[in-house]
Chains A and B, each alone.
Chain A
Amino acid sequence: MAFQIKQKGPVYDVCIVGSGAGGGMAAKILSEAGLKVALLEAGPRYDPADPEQMTQLKWPYESPRRGAGTTRPFGDFDAAYGGWEIEGEPYTTKQGTKFDWFRSRMVGGRTNHWGRISLRFGPRDFKHKSYDGLGDDWPIAYEEVAPFYDRVDKMIGVFGTKEGMPNEPDGFFLPPPKPRLHELMIKQAGSKLGIPVIPARMSMLTRSVNKDRSPCFYCGQCGRGCSVYADFSSSSVLVNPAVKSGHVDLYDNAMAREVLSNNEGKATGIAYVDKIDLEEYRVMARVIVLAASAGETARLLLNSKSSRYPNGMANASGIVGKYLHDSTGSSRAAFLPQLMDRKRYNEDGVGGMHMYIPWWGDNKKLDFPRGYHMEFGGGMRMPSYGFVNAIESMNGKYPGRDGQMKPAGGYGAGLKDDYRRFYGATIGFAGRGESIAREDNYCEIDPNVVDKWGIPVLRFNYTWSDHEIKQAKHMQDTFEQLIHEMGGVPLGNKPGPETMYGLENPGRIIHEVGTTRMGNDPKKSVLNKYSQAHDVKNLFVVDGGSFVSQADKNPTWTILALSMRASEYIMSELKKQNI
């Protein structure tokens, strides 16, 4: 059988792999500069305003499973296709360690469902080793990234307030929405405990930033993708407009196989399999930009072996895949008796919290390094599968309307009334913290396993250390302090040492970064401080792979800022004919 690899399109100026935050930003900046861009995406096109794809404003009964997460892990209406397991695309783990890898194959990638919590890293976050001796410092400082954060704020839009906190830099904010009832209660409890509760910083448009996107209309469903583009997703805000401009050729359902290179070691293109016609293709370009996600980019580089690059491309250091790290996460729910029999009103608000808790602790007085921020949820949310589970654990503990106690569980009109009474009286807290990047937490190519296109898959090796476990314990203690201060009742048993204090599996927070980290020493890093591969001058990485350390912040805003910075560096290097 003739097995032909066909070339698609002309030789492009730039070929970008991946259309999430990093790839979307690179596509926008580079195409607006007049470069001819090819953008490869492993999944289908996506537009939340397309009636065929839209899930916003659907009612639970429009889904036969009432919004349950059977096929989409975050619920039937969630915008992200894919999940922890994708048929025919396995990954493995080593030595009994755990790593859960969330992949979203679609234009916009995981920005379609993320929480849109948009935090800048602070000055300390880029130089943390200088403070506590752990991990490594970034080769860049906050001041170098700040101008790009500023531009991302204005281009995309993020609400928040100027607080003047040293490691939570302020930006160009849109006005935040007013807090919800339970958020005011948490704020009150926080102020008694010395825990700051401030307006959240999220990328939804409380006011428009340009004429192409409307302001938020408060349905609380950003995770479903917004049909008026009031929320940020790479698809709605970066990729689809860039494709419409005519300067970006989008190759969807294109699963990248390897980075091609020539005799001089320069990257020349990407080989991919088209998931629809199952034919093999290649796209050629002068510059290759990888934005496939920390995991997929490492996989792509490690699979790009040649006689010149026996360990994979850009991997003379052997560092590709190492220093993989995800945020820590632990959570607890509580019942607030004072919220029983609540007066009803629409409190959907934006899709997520209106307030949050930035890290407030002083590590000198604590037994773990680094910090975490706290998120919370609650309120009279849209009913969805699972939202009234296990009432027998609640309705025997509180007196009925008549003031009398009754046995837990039951049936009939009294039970039906209990569901009404308990509705909207539950809140949840979650901590999201910084783990220490370690060389011995890594992903590599599994020597024995391929996916359904024959591409060797990743094998993960990841463990938590005492640092992260103690941090999770601190989270659990803080949740209980806040809950008790509010007069609430923590639900379930307090997670203890047997579960590492509820510390989620690595990967579970979907903030994994660090696999192609930047640095000044080519022996200890994959990229230089402009996200350019030390070994291959025309190869760049603009996803979370470049992170040296994760901070107690969500990575997206920093991915966007660094991708913008790298894209402008690419242009200046092209102009100087250095690449």
Chain B
Amino acid sequence: MDRRETLKALAVGSLSVSTFLTACKDDKKTKPPVGAGVKTPVYGRTDEEKKRDVKLEEEKFFTPEEMKTITILADIIIPADEHSGSASDAKVPAFIEFIVKDMPKYKTPMRGGLRWLDLHSARLYENRFTDCSSKQQLALLDQIAYPEKAAPEMSQGVAFFNLMRDLTANGFFTSKIGIKDIDYRGNTPNEWDGVPSDVLQQYGLSYDEKTLAQCLKTEDRGKLMTWD
């Protein structure tokens, strides 16, 4: 910052001295060119959005110990089965690390929830959750995984597990593995010609004559519309 800019910043008045000094220090760092050395996928971002993505990717929120717990929980929630791989196969833990930085409202519930889990685990088994046997881990989770059956004093654990279940499932079913698993068939150029006839039949529905007459005939799709 040069002197003129400094004066301008001070004139703003609301900046505290420390913010101001930090800003000066940061300024000395070479501004990272957007995307340089960081793999940002091309998905139509504005420059501001690219900068934000890069900044979030560079931050680290969860400790290695917390990530270990998250990975175990995610794989218990979504394990591998005959259809597809597990949550960690779909890199759900990395998604959770990103999303809590993207949505800071989840930071405290996640950090505190993980801590709650370890304390409860220590109470039951005198061990951190990650150091328990898998049988002990499941017995503990059974106390918080079923909201309608859980004991009232488990409510904070239930809230944490609901969040963990949501984040895990969202991460999994929006991954390549998960989309294949849930068998979403779209996101590709095609010609929509209505509900398949066997599906209509299954539900006792049909397209009536009027609808068929009004709706697009796929063979007309390429023809320029005229109204005369």
Contact = CB atoms under 8 A, between A and B. Distances in A.
Given A343-B198, A383-B179, A419-B173, A217 B190 contact: yes
Given A65-B99, A184-B195, A410-B145, A59 B187 contact: yes
A350 B192 CA distance: 9
A409 B145 contact: yes
B195 A181 contact: yes
Nearest to B169: A388
Contacts of B215: 175-178, 199
Interface in B170-200: 170-171, 173-176, 178-179, 181-196, 198-200
A218 B192 CA distance: 6
A420 B193 contact: no
A460 interface: no
A349 B190 CA distance: 9
Contacts of B200: 181, 184
A459 B222 CA distance: 49
B216 A382 contact: no
Interface stretch (A66-74, A432-440, A441-449, A477-485): A66-74
A220 B186 contact: yes
Interface stretch (A120-128, A203-211, A241-249): A203-211
A495 interface: no
Interface string A39-68: 000001000000111110111111111111
Contacts of B220: 175, 207
Contacts of A70: 102-103
Nearest to B212: A178
A410 to B, nearest CB: 6
Contacts of A380: 184-186
A391 B203 CA distance: 25
A209 B141 contact: no
A209 B188 contact: no
A362 B79 CA distance: 55
A172 interface: yes
A71 B194 contact: no
A165 interface: no
B190 A346 contact: yes
A566 to B, nearest CB: 25
B67 interface: no
Contact of A154 (B166, B176, B227): B227
Nearest to A54: B44
Given A177-B216, A385-B170, A185 B203 contact: yes
Contacts of B81: 413, 416-417
A416 to B, nearest CB: 5
A359 interface: no
Contact of B227 (A77, A172, A220, A381): A172
B227 A57 contact: no
Interface residues of B, number: 74
Interface string A160-191: 01000000000010111111110011001000
B224 A207 contact: yes
For the side of the interface on A, what is the size category? 35 or more
A412 B189 contact: no
B120 interface: no
Nearest to A176: B215
A386 interface: yes
Nearest to B206: A184
A11 B227 CA distance: 41
Nearest to B81: A413
Contacts of B46: 44, 81
A219 interface: yes
A177 B205 CA distance: 17
B42 A52 contact: yes
Interface string A311-354: 00000000000000000000000000010000111111110000
Interface stretch (B17-25, B50-58, B107-115, B122-130): B50-58
A44 B46 CA distance: 10
A307 interface: no
Nearest to A157: B225
Contacts of B192: 177-178, 218, 346-350
B165 A411 contact: yes
B214 interface: yes
A176 B102 contact: no
B178 A383 contact: yes
Contacts of B117: none
Given A174-B225, A176-B215, A408-B148, A392 B199 contact: no
A52 B43 CA distance: 7
Contacts of B203: 181, 184-185, 338
A409 to B, nearest CB: 5
Contacts of B189: 217-219
B95 to A, nearest CB: 7
Interface in A344-380: 344-350, 380
A387 interface: yes
B61 interface: no
Interface string B77-116: 1110100000000000001001100110000000000000
A95 interface: no
Nearest to A58: B43
Contacts of B175: 61
Contacts of A218: 189-192
B60 interface: no
B3 interface: no
B149 A348 contact: no
B222 A215 contact: yes
Given A62-B43, A188-B205, A383-B184, A178 B145 contact: no
A59 B214 contact: no
Contact of B174 (A60, A220, A345, A408): A60
Interface in B32-85: 41-44, 46, 49, 52-53, 56-57, 76-79, 81
B162 A392 contact: yes
Contacts of B193: 178
A256 B165 CA distance: 48
A499 interface: no
B170 A386 contact: yes
B148 A409 contact: yes
A385 B43 contact: no
A345 B162 CA distance: 30
B221 A410 contact: no
A400 B170 CA distance: 21
A390 interface: yes
Contacts of B187: 57, 59, 219, 221, 348, 382
A345 B185 contact: yes
B185 A63 contact: no
A410 B227 contact: no
B166 A64 contact: no
A440 B43 CA distance: 44
The 5 closest A-B pairs by CB, nearest first: A178-B194, A348-B186, A217-B189, A60-B174, A55-B44
18 contacts: A57-B187, A61-B174, A68-B99, A70-B103, A71-B52, A178-B216, A179-B207, A184-B200, A219-B188, A346-B186, A380-B186, A383-B174, A383-B178, A383-B179, A383-B184, A411-B77, A420-B181, A423-B182
Given A181-B200, A207-B216, A344-B184, 8 more contacts: A44-B46, A62-B43, A64-B102, A65-B99, A382-B187, A389-B166, A407-B149, A412-B79
